Amino acid sequence: MRYVVIGAGAIGAGVGGLLDDSGSEVLLVARGEHLAAMREHGLTVRMPDGVITRRPDVAASPEEVELRTDDVLVLATKTHQAAAALATWVDAPVHDGGQVVGTAGERLPLLTALNGVASEEIALRWFARVYGVCVWMPAVLARPGEIIVRCAPVRAILHAARYPAVLADDGDAAFLRQLAEDWGRAGIQVPTPDDVMPWKYRKLLGNLGNAVQALLGDGGLGQDITEAARTEAAAIYEAAGITMNSDESERHSRDQLTAAPVAGAPERMGGSTWQSLHRGSGSAETDYLNGEIVAIAHRLGRTAPVNAALAELVRHAAAQRTKPGVMTPDELGQRVLGQRPESIG
């Protein structure tokens, strides 16, 4: 199988570089300075135990790629960019023996390696075979053409399953076994639960703190605000009947990941929302993280004011291209929790 990574940023290029280094065939779809750097100098992946530089095939769009029947599409954009990316690729022709045999949406499997829980439903609008992926991979796009992956020897854990789970059959099981074998050679574990969505809903709770980290600029600050967002979300989950994987299964998987310092890594690195503000991208995926909790609440006729406030503040910060750390903990607590500065720890 060839892995075509659409949106090869921190996660996508990190996965792609590791796969290429381990012998899998890879094509990375990227844009801007990152694409230009990979075309000119290749892709460098820095890890706690070493550095690799590879020259995988790269492209900017479907027009530069001849898709094949053995291709696997890996969507690794941010969730708010997913619809546009999928619409761009769905009608790309797929070739076999020099003949066009269908389109990407009809013929190729699609893995949704994104945060949040919305991309799988978004993908079904265009693609017939969708596999949800819960991404645990501490990776950062340090500079164009260079990715920091902060774990060793296991680089990442990506739980994957057919979506919706009720459609899974023996063919899906065989496909995921081959995927796990290929990716395992690259140091990426691919557990295959019956249903990946309980894992993604739990991961979403963890990602609710991304907004706080980005707004304050430091992941060690604002823990009371993060906990308020997660407590609010847990109550919404319970009201909606949303289930998550067990605490035991979560601990067992996470124990496989060990973070360590990476030589040459930037001194300050944050999560996905922090990175969006740091790069001045003009947008962030918060509406599909904290905003997802708001959406679930609205379906129940309820509100989620803590998460709604965080989503709004990040939207404004991203639109104004402000850097991480635009607010102090006191300011953020007052805006989100209604606390007086002196009452915030």
For residue range 230-284, what is the model confidence (pLDDT) as tens digits?
999 999 999 999 999 999 999 999 999 999 999 878 767 778 898 888 888 888 8
Q: Tell me how crowded residue 53 is: count the other CB atoms within 10 A of its CB.
A: 14
Q: What gap in Å lies between CA 116 and CA 307, rounded to an integer?
A: 14
Q: Whole-number mean pLDDT of the chain? A: 94
The dihedrals phi and psi of 29, each to the nearest 5 degrees, come to: -105, 120
Tens-of-pLDDT digits for all 345 residues of the chain? 999 999 999 999 999 999 999 999 999 999 999 999 999 999 999 999 999 999 999 999 999 999 999 999 999 999 999 999 999 999 999 999 989 999 999 999 999 999 999 999 999 999 999 999 999 999 999 899 999 999 999 999 999 999 999 999 999 999 999 999 999 999 999 999 999 999 999 999 999 999 999 999 988 889 999 999 999 999 999 999 999 999 999 999 999 999 999 987 876 777 889 888 888 888 889 999 999 999 999 999 999 999 999 999 999 999 999 999 999 999 999 999 985 444 333
Asked if 78 and 103 touch (Cβ cutoff 8 Å), the reply is no
Asked if 24 and 180 touch (Cβ cutoff 8 Å), the reply is no
Q: What gap in Å lies between CA 134 and CA 184, rounded to an integer?
A: 16
Tell me which long-range contacts 88-94 makes (C-beta under 8 A, separation of at least 24): 88/61, 88/62, 89/6, 89/62, 90/126, 90/127, 92/62, 92/65, 92/67, 93/67, 94/67, 94/68, 94/69
- Which residue type does 281 have? S
| 195-243: pLDDT as tens digits | 999 999 999 999 999 999 999 998 888 999 999 999 999 999 999 999 9
CA 90 to the chain's CA centroid: 20
Strand partners, 104: none
Tell me which long-range contacts 188-191 makes (C-beta under 8 A, separation of at least 24): 188/15, 188/18, 188/19, 188/137, 188/154, 188/155, 188/156, 188/157, 188/158, 189/154, 189/156, 189/157, 189/158, 189/256, 190/157, 190/158, 190/159, 190/160, 191/157, 191/159, 191/160, 191/253
Task: Tell me what pLDDT residue 281 has.
Answer: 82
Task: Tell me what pLDDT residue 233 has.
Answer: 98
Q: What gap in Å lies between CA 147 and CA 335, rounded to an integer?
A: 35
Question: Considering Cα of 219, then 222, then 223, then 228, what sign does the dihedral take?
Answer: negative
- The CA-based diameter of the chain, rounded to the nearest angstrom, is 70
Strand partners, 100: 95
DSSP 341: G
